[in-house]
Amino acid sequence: MPADAPHDVPVGARTDAARGCAVVYFDLGETLVHTAEDGSTGYLPGAAAYLRELRERHISVGLITNVPSSWGGTDAERAAALKKELDGSWKGSAPFAWKDFGDRIRTPRTEAERKPAPVLWERAKAEANDCRLVYQAETAEETGVAASLGYVAYRIGQPHRPAYLPARVIELLARGPR
C-alpha cells in the first residue's frame, strides 16, 4: 500500500497480496483507555504508540465493546454516543484515535448481546472478508470467547509479556493460513 494511502481501508481490502490482511479488535476500557478515580479517561501506557504503529503498518483496527443498548438503534449511533461520552471525560494529551477505527465499532444491540456473549465477535467475524482476526483485552473470559470463535486472542497486562501483541506478529499472522 502506498505510504500516502488512507489508513481506514475497508475490512478485507487486500492492497498487497504478500501482506495479507488482518483486523485487530480491542476491548476499550482497561485495554486501550483507563478511567481514573475522578472519572477522567486517557490512554493506557503504550496504547497510543501501539495504535500509531498499527496505523503505520496499515493494519486495520476495530472495537468490540459494551455500551448500553439504549445509546442508539445502530452500531453507528451507539458508537457516536460512546465517542461523546469518552471525549467528554478525556484528559489525555492526545485525543483518542477514533478515525483509526472507522466503522469497525461493534456494540450490543440488546442487553443480551453484551460481552461475554459471543454475538459481537460473530458480527465482526462475518464482516472480515476472510482476514485474520485478532482480539486484545484485559480479561481471560473475553479472550477465551474470542479464541473459541477463531480469533487470535491476546490478553494484555500479563507479566513478562509485551503490553500488546507485537505488530510484526500480526503481519505474520495475516500472511499465514487461516
Q: What is the pLDDT along the chain (178 residues), one digit of tens a residue?
A: 333 333 443 444 333 445 689 999 999 999 999 999 999 999 999 999 999 999 999 999 999 999 999 999 999 999 999 999 999 999 988 999 999 999 999 999 999 999 999 999 999 999 999 899 999 999 999 999 999 999 999 999 999 999 999 999 999 999 988 6
Q: Which three cell numbers stand for residue 98?
A: 477514533
pTM score: 0.89
What confidence score (pLDDT) does residue 5 get? 36
What confidence score (pLDDT) does residue 144 get? 98
6: Cβ contacts below 8 Å, ≥ 6 apart: none
What confidence score (pLDDT) does residue 33 get? 97
| Structural domains of the chain ordered from first start | 22-175 (3.40.50.1000)
Distances (CA, A) of 32 to 70, 149, 152: 23, 22, 18
Q: Is 66 helix (H, G, I), strand (E, B) or coil?
A: coil
How far is the C-alpha of 160 from the C-alpha of 6, rounded, in Å? 35
Q: Are 134 and 24 in contact (CB under 8 A)?
A: yes
How far is the C-alpha of 141 from the C-alpha of 130, rounded, in Å? 25
Whether the bond into 116 is cis, omega within 30 of 0: yes
What confidence score (pLDDT) does residue 176 get? 86
